[in-house]
Amino acid sequence: MERTGREPPCHKDRRCGPPFATTLGLKDYQQRDLPMAMTSSSLLYPMATHVGITALLYVALTVARAPSVWGLGRRKDGSNPWTSAERRISANLSNQFEWPLFFYAACVVLLQRPLVGQLELSLAWLFVLGRLAHSCVQVFTTNVRLRGVVFTVNFLAVLAMWAALLVQSNAY
């Protein structure tokens, strides 16, 4: 194939990277490079789901703090019946702004591509389901071992997302 100067720059094996998917034709790119690929905007659903989980935690924290802050639902002795739950909800809410940062960073990079593979989308959903499970375990139990196991699942999901990103970026 002779280059006319109008084609996108390609890697040594002449396969063009994701930014050139429209030049190649999206269908050709999808079949060749990302089997079971879908548009990268599919990642918005797991991202929005995590935002929803975080919003629910804010609501739960507000309800748990209501007896102390507004006097609603206080015990007869004036104490807050939700004190222990409030601490766990607050701690879990803080957790939503730690490791998920790396999830969102990977998603933002993936959103820059025209397509995302089933692997990346599955890992994103695994992360979100893991965060939901982690929140349930932390808020409703005091089982630190189980919480650690559940955290490990979503931790590995994000590491795998980053590994997939790095492998794909080196392929081009």
Whether residue 161 is contained in a domain is answered as yes
> Is 106 a domain residue?
yes
The answer to whether residue 127 sits within a structural domain is yes
CATH number of residue 58's parent domain: 1.20.120.550
Domain membership flag for residue 13:
no
Q: Does residue 148 lie within any of the structural domains?
A: yes
DSSP assignments along 120-172, one per residue: HHHHHHHHHHHHHHHHHHHHH---HHHHHHHHHHHHHHHHHHHHHHHHHHHH-
Range of the domain at 51: 36-171
Tell me: the pLDDT tens digits for 69-100? 666 767 677 777 778 888 999 999 999 999 99
pLDDT tens per residue across span 38-74 = 788 899 999 999 999 999 999 999 989 877 766 676 7
Is 75 part of any domain?
Answer: yes
Please tell me the pTM assigned to this model: 0.74
Q: How many domains does the chain have?
A: 1
What is the residue type of 85? Answer: A
The per-residue pLDDT for range 102-122, each reduced to its tens digit, is: 999 999 999 998 888 899 999
**CA 144 – CA 148 distance, rounded (Å):** 6
Look at residue 26 and tell me if it is in a domain. Answer: no
**Per the domain annotation, does 98 fall within a domain?**
yes
Distance between CA 89 and CA 64 in Å, rounded? 8
